[in-house]
Amino acid sequence: MTDTDAGATGDFAPDAALHRAFEVIDANIETFGTRYPADTTTGSVYPLRPATADLPAGSNYGWTTSFWTGQLWLAYQLTGAERYRAAGVAQIDSFAHRVEAEIDLHTHDLGFLYTLGGVAPWLLTQDERARDGALAAADHLMTRVMQPAGIVQAWGDPAGDPAERGRTIIDSLMNMPLLHWAGAQRDDPRYARAAVAHVSQLRDHILRPDDTTFHTFYWDPVTGEPLRGTTQQGYADDSCWARGQAWGVYGFALSYCHTRDESFLVAARRCARYYLDHLPADQVAYWDLVFTDGSGQPRDTSAASVAACGLLELAAWEQDPAEQQRLRAAATRMVASLAEHYTGAAVPGSNALLLHGVYDWPSGVGVDEGNLWGDYYYLEALTRIVRPDWAPYWRAA
């Protein structure tokens, strides 16, 4: 992308975008209380998280509940309003209970869940139950480390799910900050060693020579040999799933933050370069980067919100002021486009911050809908823009 192609942000007003976001969050506090929305909207509206055989509707299960919680803590930090703090504090017990009762813990997404559901409230309130829950979640995440490959298995019970043994996915990069935080809290280097070993494997195998990324990759569970890359949610095994590439930008940049390993910074740059070079005119990616303007395919606004946060994180670690400015400008253009064209405000009755996201196109789940992670990272990106010195929860140590 050239400077000429980059364009300008025009009349983008991040404070106005935040005001609209707070209105939606306020309404959702009233709607959901201490319960949790579903992963995605249905007809542009979040329903309660569905009941299961063992849990009532609105229960804390699945990998996305903390993205609602994270919105509350961001809103509290941005405004200081007690209503957001109270709503966030009211969810601490839910996350602590979830890990104590071992509810739906067979996932690497414990990092997503407990960075926002445990670390964030610990940082902001010093609540010991939040800290204890996050530390317990990190211990569960450590049980997913598979030797000799040194990877963290993505899904399924490592001891009892043969179909998932030896598989990791690019999203896992965002789950490693929980291990770095836990290691620092306990002064125990095992956690950081596990995170570094895992990220190093993804750097070497999930990031392809052409700077694209696989969504998933398999290692032999016995020998540790790298086997093959595939996709679960992208268009094809050899295409480039947009949200996965965005996770690569953000996740590798955060790994550099925690380790100062220059190879992770290089990996983040490579992911960012490819992502930026394959965007449509309005800077909001289609769900797979193989598609662009004229394809007729749906966008993934959640990929744009994650990528914007990743670009801003990468900019924080670049030494060249011109490169810092280029990355920040690119991220701001994405967020400006989201705020102007893709918010739930365009659909009467919507309770999403963003619409036009894609959860899982191959499975037909959450296509052209809002989703909780897209909403969270949109709000995080706005936070980073209006408060450049804000310290992300993912950097906590």
What are the catalytic residues? 109, 171
Rounded to whole angstroms, the Cα distance separating 152 from 55 reads 28
Q: Are 219 and 229 in contact (CB under 8 A)?
A: no
**28's tokens:** 């959702």
**370's tokens:** 């809002």
Nearest Cα neighbor of 225 from 149, 165, 169 is 149
- Burial zone of 187 (CB within 10 Å; 0-12 exposed, 13-18 middle, 19+ buried): exposed
- Tell whether the torsion through CA atoms of 243, 245, 250 and 255 is positive or negative: positive
Biggest CA pair distance of the chain: 56
Query: What is the distance, to the nearest Å, from the Cα of residue 386 to the centroid of all Cα atoms in its chain?
Result: 20
**DSSP-assigned letter for residue 119:** I
Distances (CA, A) of 374 to 205, 232, 249, 330: 27, 19, 16, 18
**DSSP-assigned letter for residue 106:** -
Rounded to whole angstroms, the Cα distance separating 279 from 366 reads 22
Q: Are 24 and 351 in contact (CB under 8 A)?
A: yes
Torsion of CA 37, 70, 14, 250, to 10 degrees: -110
Q: Which residue has the tokens 């700077």?
A: 211
**DSSP-assigned letter for residue 254:** H
